């Protein structure tokens, strides 16, 4: 059993009910006509593939059928938080890196290299959203 | 984007006055798979409530709530996964998503209800769709009803997690349906027409060990 918290249904639901829909927070260029081919190509086809914290779009396909965002660690597959469309994540690679810099988290040296966050810091924010 | 605004909707009664044969989505299933009798050893009982009026309401909660209170005398359930009913239990409104509700009323009432809701809503931004032809409602009762549900859905149907007055759309037997609990002993399954035969046969198979019977 793997449960995901749907921010619209306000409860944990079985993973079977959800579909991932790729990277979140992709903004369509305001004026497509004024885009260079490279900018337009980036918007259409190029996606981040980080090792570590990734913000993703998911849909509660069998359920309320609403799209929402999830912050997921691509190393551990752990979903750190889910939040509604239009909202900003409270957990980002930067926020985790800042925690480490402030020394609030013990980081073991020589561990896995992730984008902005070590597994230790990820573990420390576990259970932010039950 | 066009600035055209639709100012009318094509509303028509899906139940013509002249008698024409109408069958529930399960008519073929009853013919093909039969209906086991309800006996003294039946610890799960299935009953179809065919041909009810099903309406989907979409729009803003506040606007719809006003209209629904005025027309049905029943509040729109604001909490996720909740169900409100009138005193008789005949009319119900269920939360499906933040801007979507399912209204179930006795068969034949839905067209008048739709017209009155449209009048009450006026120029508000909303949609009402009659989905009565697309789904049917099954009632499940009996001491083993919950056991049967536990075999079929990953959703937690324990009374602590699924109190009376709750309703969810969830995965059921590799298909999906709307599962709701209007009373302490009765469960309701709103199934899509296209899945009705499959789910009926699943329920018969899963309920065989409890001596499931089909009423009606």
d(CA B157, CA B152): 11
In a domain, A15, yes or no: yes
**B3 to chain A nearest CA, in Å?**
20
In a domain, B92, yes or no: yes
Give the residue numbers spanning the domain of A61.
Answer: 3-124
Amino acid B22: pLDDT: 85
d(CA B189, CA B150): 14
Q: List CB contacts of A81: < 8 A, sequence separation 6 or more.
A: A70, A71, A89, A90, A91, A128, A129
pLDDT-above-70 percentage for chain B: 97
Q: Is the pLDDT of residue B83 over 60?
A: yes
pLDDT single digits (tens) B93-114: 999 999 999 999 999 999 999 9
In a domain, A130, yes or no: no
Angle, CA B61 vertex, CA B58 and CA B65 arms, to 5°: 100
pLDDT single digits (tens) A33-58: 999 999 999 999 999 999 999 999 99
Give the residue numbers spanning the domain of B169.
Answer: 27-215
In a domain, A75, yes or no: yes
The CATH number that applies at residue A58 is: 3.30.2270.10
Residues listed for chain B: 216
- The model's confidence at residue B72, banded by pLDDT at 50, 70 and 90, is very high
**Are residues A62 and B171, on separate chains, in Cβ contact within 8 Å?**
yes
Pick the more confident residue, B85 or B14.
B85
In a domain, B84, yes or no: yes
Q: How many domains does chain B have?
A: 1
Nearest residue in chain A measured CA to CA from B153: A14
In a domain, A129, yes or no: no
In a domain, A71, yes or no: yes
In a domain, B93, yes or no: yes
d(CA B100, CA A12): 20
Query: Which stretches within chain B are classed as H helix?
Result: 27-33, 61-72, 110-121, 145-152, 193-207
**A17–B contact, CB cutoff 8 A:** yes
In a domain, B179, yes or no: yes
d(CA A9, CA B94): 13
Write down the pTM of the prediction: 0.86
Q: Is the pLDDT of residue B63 over 50?
A: yes
* Segment B205-209 mean pLDDT: 96
What 3-state class would DSSP assign to B119?
A: helix
In a domain, A31, yes or no: yes
**A67–B contact, CB cutoff 8 A:** no
- The model's confidence at residue A124, banded by pLDDT at 50, 70 and 90, is low
In a domain, B143, yes or no: yes
In a domain, A44, yes or no: yes
Q: Minimal CA–CA distance to A90: which of A114, A116, A62, A71? A: A71
Q: In the predicted model, what is the mean pLDDT of chain A?
A: 84
Q: How many domains does chain A have?
A: 1
In a mutagenesis test of the B interface, which of A10, A11, A12 is the best target, namely the one with the most B β-carbons within 10 Å? A11
In a domain, B97, yes or no: yes
In a domain, B19, yes or no: no
The CATH number that applies at residue B110 is: 3.30.1360.120
In a domain, A53, yes or no: yes
- The model's confidence at residue B2, banded by pLDDT at 50, 70 and 90, is low
d(CA A17, CA A3): 10
* Segment A76-88 mean pLDDT: 95
Q: Minimal CA–CA distance to B117: which of B93, B84, B135? A: B93
* Segment B189-195 mean pLDDT: 97
The complex's ipTM works out to 0.89
Between the CA of residue B45 and those of A114, B200, B208, what are the distances in Å? 55, 12, 11
């Amino acid at each position: 059993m793997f449960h995901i918290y749907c921010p619209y249904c306000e409860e944990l639901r079985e993973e079977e009910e959800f579909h991932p829909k790729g990277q979140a927070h992709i903004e369509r260029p305001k004026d497509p006509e004024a885009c260079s081919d490279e900018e337009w190509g980036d918007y259409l086809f190029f996606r981040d593939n980080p090792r570590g914290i990734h913000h993703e779009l998911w849909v509660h396909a069998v359920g309320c059928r609403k799209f929402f965002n999830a912050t997921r660690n691509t190393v551990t597959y752990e979903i750190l938080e889910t939040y509604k469309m239009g909202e900003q994540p409270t957990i980002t690679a930067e926020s985790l890196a800042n925690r480490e810099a402030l020394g609030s988290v013990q980081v073991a040296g020589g561990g896995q290299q992730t984008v902005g966050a070590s597994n230790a810091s990820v573990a420390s924010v576990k259970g932010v959203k039950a | 984007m066009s600035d055209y605004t639709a100012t009318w909707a094509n509303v028509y009664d899906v139940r013509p006055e002249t008698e024409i044969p109408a069958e529930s989505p399960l008519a073929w299933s009853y013919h093909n798979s039969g209906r086991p009798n309800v006996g003294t050893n039946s610890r799960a009982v299935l009953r179809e409530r065919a041909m009810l009026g099903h309406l989907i309401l979409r729009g803003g909660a506040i606007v719809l709530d006003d209209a629904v209170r005025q027309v049905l005398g029943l509040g729109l359930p604001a909490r996720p996964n909740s169900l409100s009913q009138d005193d008789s239990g005949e009319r119900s409104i269920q939360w499906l998503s933040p801007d979507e509700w399912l209204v179930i009323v006795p068969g034949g009432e839905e067209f008048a209800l739709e017209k009155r809701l449209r009048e009450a809503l006026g120029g508000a931004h909303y949609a009402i769709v009659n989905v009565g032809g697309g789904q049917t409602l099954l009632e499940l009762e009996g001491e083993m009803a919950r056991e049967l549900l536990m075999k079929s859905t990953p959703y937690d149907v324990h009374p602590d997690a699924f109190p009376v007055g709750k309703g969810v759309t969830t995965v059921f037997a590799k298909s999906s349906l709307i599962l709701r609990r209007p009373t302490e002993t009765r469960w309701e399954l709103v199934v899509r027409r296209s899945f009705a035969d499959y789910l009926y046969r699943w329920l018969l198979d899963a309920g065989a060990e409890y001596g499931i019977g089909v009423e009606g």
